[in-house]
Amino acid sequence: PERFGVKALYLFGSTKNASAGPGSDIDLLVHVTGDPEKRILLEAWLEGWSWSLAELNYQRTGYRSDGLLDVHYLTDEDIARGDSYAARIGAVTDAARPLDLGGRAAG
């Protein structure tokens, strides 16, 4: 996580709610440090995974997509303001689920 400037990672949407179908994407919130160089590396890394997951999904379901990950990046400021997707963190209903970052709990 530190290599890419990731502070926390959250899952939301149909995948989190166990209602995803073959055409569903995987919605992620990524809390980042704000370091632009690390952000570029992270975006490239996640894009590669998005394409790879889309290919695996195609092989299993026959459904083509341009990528399986729908990633939304959040900074400390976004979270402090509760802007847009940041409001899903700690929401009363349908909150984003924090994911474990290799032994470090998100959040």
Return the structure tokens found at 57: 């999904």
Q: What's the mean pLDDT when you consider all of the chain?
A: 93
The CATH number of domain 2-99, selected from 3.30.1120, 3.30.460, 3.40.50, 1.10.357:
3.30.460
Q: Is 10 exposed, middle or buried (0-12, 13-18, 19+ CB in 10 A)?
A: buried
pLDDT score recorded for residue 88: 94
* Contact status, residue 49 vs residue 97, Cβ threshold 8 Å: no
The domain spans of the chain are 2-99
Confidence of residue 104 (pLDDT cuts 50, 70, 90): low
Predicted model pTM: 0.87
Label the pairing between strands 69-74 and 26-32.
parallel
